[in-house]
Structure 1
């Protein structure tokens, strides 16, 4: 029985990898075996990046809230503690938006928390 190869699907597989490696430096975008390794590594970086993004945004929100609170002589941890004591449920993303774009509303929140 003669040997048969499936050149269509193997070529398709190689083309897919080379397409994914488009824009990579040097042989990482030209040579299939090198490109395959580079693409696999890039998928690993992409996976970690998606996890990292969440962490980075949370820390950014915390920094923005802290900057907004410090204008009025308070600290971030104090502010968050008062929020939880008063059972006010506003997440950090919204609080950071308010502190940056709506300073009057943020001041009102601070006054309400610290007045009572």
Structure 2
């Protein structure tokens, strides 16, 4: 079996790790072992936070919708319930966008939700 010389592959592997670690502070950007640990952790954080970002944006949209709905005399909960009963299928991202950039359109959606809600809060839902 032929002898395998690892110098080129080993140097490439280390160079790739150190390139990814450029910009880190201290030893984490200069020493291979520390850089490798930090790059591994960074990849874990990136993976986790790409998923977390989706929830963060949803929370932001809900806060914006709630604030705009309260300015129009409704809570977020009742607003979403009213939209559901009215059959309006607009997602939270678009509702938040309308609340910020097109308040007049949002007000019309609030009115639609108010009309769809029963006057008696405890009334049973109609069979649809």
Distance 2:41 2:8 in 1: 26
Q: Which runs of 5+ in 1 are unaligned?
A: none
Question: May I ask how many residue pairs the two structures share in their alignment?
Answer: 116
Residue by residue, what CA displacement relative to the aligned partner does 1:53-98 show, whole Å, maximum 9, x if unpaired? Answer: 0010000000000000000111000000111111110000000000
Q: Which residue of structure 2 lines up, in the alignment, with residue 28 of structure 1?
A: 28
> 2:86 touches 2:112 (CA, 8 Å); kept in 1?
no
Correspondence 1:96 to 2:96: yes
Larger helix proportion of the pair: 1
Once the two structures are TM-superposed, the CA of residue 113 in structure 1 deviates from its matched residue by: 2.4
Q: Which residue of structure 2 lines up, in the alignment, with residue 12 of structure 1?
A: 12
SS at match of 2:46: helix
Q: Which runs of 5+ in 2 are unaligned?
A: 117-128
TM-score by length of 2: 0.86
5 Å-filtered alignment, 1:68-107, equals 68-107=68-107
Distance 1:11 1:93 in 2: 47
Residue by residue, what CA displacement relative to the aligned partner does 1:32-62 show, whole Å, maximum 9, x if unpaired? Answer: 0110001000000001110110010000000
Distance 2:111 2:61 in 1: 21
Distance 2:96 2:65 in 1: 5
**What is the root-mean-square deviation in Å for CA atoms of aligned residues?**
1.5
- Runs of 4+ with >4 A deviation: none
TM-score by length of 1: 0.94
Distance 1:16 1:96 in 2: 42
